[in-house]
Structure 1
Amino acid sequence: MHINPHLFILPRTPAQIVWNYKDHIQHELDYDYSKRLGQLINNPDLFNSGNTIDIQLLNAGILTVSKTDNTEWGWDELSKIYHIGTQNIPCKHIPQNIHEWTREYLDHCNEVLAAPLPPARRMLDNASTRIELPTPTTPAHDNLTHALTQRKTCRSFTGAVLSLNDVSSLLYLSFGYLHERDSSADGIAEGLAARRSSPSGGGLNACECFLLAQNIEGLEPGVYAYHPAEHVLTPVNPWPQAPLGQLLGGQHFINNLPLGLFITARFDKLWWKYQHSRAYRMAFVEAGHLSQTFQLVATALGFNTWLTGAFADDQVESLLKIEGSAEQPLFFVGCGESDGQAMCQEMLDLLREEQS
């Protein structure tokens, strides 16, 4: 018999809270159960199938019959608990089609809006000194200004094919190691000279990306790893049989998205340089930088974008063939031709139906 390795124990007088952070299940143990658990932690071989408490601890998943292999983790236990505890969003039912998703999402929004709304912005005291800023100017024909003002999250894509040239530009400018910056690597340690268009903690470039190609000219539908130093793709898996929305929390309005990217983090790179778990924050910061750069580049190329953090980690890790490794998926971004709608057509139809 073994103790479940994904337990977090909290003393809450007069009870003991045992939280299975991997499965999102919480138990409250009284003194007798807590005492028995302590004995079994000290020596799991004391398990007695005739002991009612032992059987209940086993049925609750606090004890396990088989030993669970722990994935290597280079930081402290608290960061590991947070990482594992926020994987695989608890969901009783993943919407199986776009109509289920629109109904469930609308119900969720109505439930949220029924509660008082937090202050929309920082309060401005009338007595405070106000420094008026000049009217913002947008330079004519400035591509960056255009990309910043035109970037928009859309949920209605046509599915139109993307050219491989555009995909090449998008990957290089967002995730590639820029040859144009080779001269800026003087004095930098060997192996750390590569530079992207986005900043990276410690210059480690700890984030990577996988391309989900559904409708790209000259590229077979499938999952590909992008290699930024060589600017090449390598096949990882065929295009998944299930709709893309099934992988992304039931958001089926995205099923015809021609191109998507999973942004992953190589934690082992961060562990190598930064032993304190504060560096865990840097993985998310870097993913955010890359996500924004991707969206601006896609906008400049004439595409609309969409992004989400809602996905089934286990399924994504399997699809990308990184399960059981120190590389973990953090975010998803995608782009394509769109009619510019922030809401999908099915949601607009449902709203009109509700209002009529």
Structure 2
Amino acid sequence: MDGVRLKYYNKKIQQLKELLANCSDLEQVSILHEIIDDTPYKTKNYMKYMHKGYYIKHNKEELIDNSLKQIKLQVNDFPSKNIVEIIKNRYSVRDYENREVSFEAFSQIIHYSFGVKHVAEGVYDRKSYLFKYTNSQGGLNYLDLYIIVNNVEGVEQGLYYYDFIGNKICQIDNGNMRGIIKEIHFQNEFTAYSSFLCIVVADLRRVVPKYYKRAYRFAHVDAGILLAYLQLLAENNGISSCIVAGFLEHKIETLLNLSKDEYPIATIGFGYKSRSFNVV
């Protein structure tokens, strides 16, 4: 049985599939949208949305504490190009050179998309509360960023988790993982040749207590904004990228040891475009 949610909810999923079997794909999307669109206006259950507070988990302490090694990112001020020119020059590139990405460029891309932007006082009754550069519904910091490094200056090949609070990458596994990348992206083999690849995961345990089922919708909005930041920051450093939706979700769940409440949203590969690249 493939997929962590199938393991827990297989019978219920099959029952729903049978109910929707005679509906078109578009009809199924409409029905599921209404089920997920959980708002006080529709439910009339206004008291459900009255909160005194909720538990907020910023990162995975156990994963970080048990990591094989931790590498602090190197963040310096860097020259920024005109944003319009960056957008004009950005293309989805699927053909990369076998070229090393500098650690400084790698650090800038990760930090200025997903790192700490500022600290506020009194938010959620906390003395200090960290906010990222990227958007996050309710400021709940529920997105996680995993990175597979293939060719980054001074960084051993392997799988990493980005600890945004400590601004460091934490190694979960080491070694050449191009074969694993190729297996996950069964129809997008070009990803195996990227210098590094990011995996965006939404941990809905951290955000559903506030926004209920509608949190699922905004998880994709926030992830999309993060992906755009990653792309633009990479382009600013002369590094190309390509977002990938075609991946085997259960393979990512196994690789990252995800729970049933953690959802892989997208992956994105980075590298210097081949000299033979042409805009189509």
Give the TM-score normalised by structure 2: 0.69
1:253 is displaced (CA, Å) by 2.4
- Give the structure 2 partner of residue 143 of structure 1: 82
1:301-349 CA distances to partner (integer Å, 9 max, x unpaired)? 1111111111111110111122x34222111112111137368xxxx9x
Please say if 1:8 is aligned against 2:15.
yes
- Give the structure 2 partner of residue 353 of structure 1: none
Aligned mate of 1:296, from 232, 242, 253 = 232
Contact 1:154 1:342 in 2 (8 A): no
User: Who wins on radius of gyration, i.e. which is larger?
Assistant: 1
1:80-127 CA distances to partner (integer Å, 9 max, x unpaired)? xxxxxxxxxxxxxxxxxxxxxxxxxxxxxxxxxxxxxxxxxxxxxxxx
Aligned counterparts, 1:259-270, within 5 A: 259-270=196-207
1:163 is displaced (CA, Å) by 1.6
Query: Alpha carbons of 1:241 and 1:152: their partners in 2 closer, same or farther (altered >3 Å)?
Result: closer
Please say if 1:198 is aligned against 2:134.
yes
Counterpart-to-counterpart distance in 1, 2:178 and 2:81 = 42
- Give the structure 1 partner of residue 72 of structure 2: none
Secondary structure at 2:161 match in 1: strand
Amino acid at match of 1:150: N
Size of the alignment, in residue pairs?
217
Contact 2:148 2:177 in 1 (8 A): no
Query: Alpha carbons of 1:168 and 1:191: their partners in 2 closer, same or farther (altered >3 Å)?
Result: farther
- Give the structure 2 partner of residue 54 of structure 1: none
CA RMSD of aligned residues (A): 2.9
Contact 1:249 1:312 in 2 (8 A): yes
Contact 2:81 2:236 in 1 (8 A): no
Aligned counterparts, 1:25-44, within 5 A: none
More helix by percentage = 2
Query: Alpha carbons of 1:271 and 1:9: their partners in 2 closer, same or farther (altered >3 Å)?
Result: closer
Aligned mate of 1:175, from 110, 114, 118 = 114
Counterpart-to-counterpart distance in 1, 2:81 and 2:101 = 25
- Give the structure 1 partner of residue 268 of structure 2: 333
1:156-178 CA distances to partner (integer Å, 9 max, x unpaired)? 10121112221111110011112
Contact 1:243 1:252 in 2 (8 A): no
**Structure with the greater relative contact order (CA < 8 A, sep ≥ 6): 1 or 2?**
2
- Give the structure 2 partner of residue 214 of structure 1: 150
1:199 is displaced (CA, Å) by 1.8
1:22-66 CA distances to partner (integer Å, 9 max, x unpaired)? xxxx59xxxxxxxxxxxxxxxxxxxxxxxxxxxxxxxxxxxxxxx
Query: Structure 1: 5+ residue runs without aligned partners?
Result: 11-16, 20-25, 28-75, 80-140, 349-356
1:155 is displaced (CA, Å) by 1.0
Query: Structure 2: 5+ residue runs without aligned partners?
Result: 1-9, 23-32, 37-79
Secondary structure at 2:224 match in 1: helix
Give the TM-score normalised by structure 1: 0.55
1:249 is displaced (CA, Å) by 3.0
Identity across matched positions, percent: 22
Secondary structure at 2:112 match in 1: helix
- Give the structure 1 partner of residue 50 of structure 2: none
Please say if 1:232 is aligned against 2:239.
no
Aligned mate of 2:193, from 253, 256, 262 = 256
1:243 is displaced (CA, Å) by 5.2
1:139-195 CA distances to partner (integer Å, 9 max, x unpaired)? xx85322222211111110121112221111110011112xx33xx24422288322
Query: Alpha carbons of 1:8 and 1:229: their partners in 2 closer, same or farther (altered >3 Å)?
Result: same
Aligned mate of 1:164, from 91, 95, 103 = 103
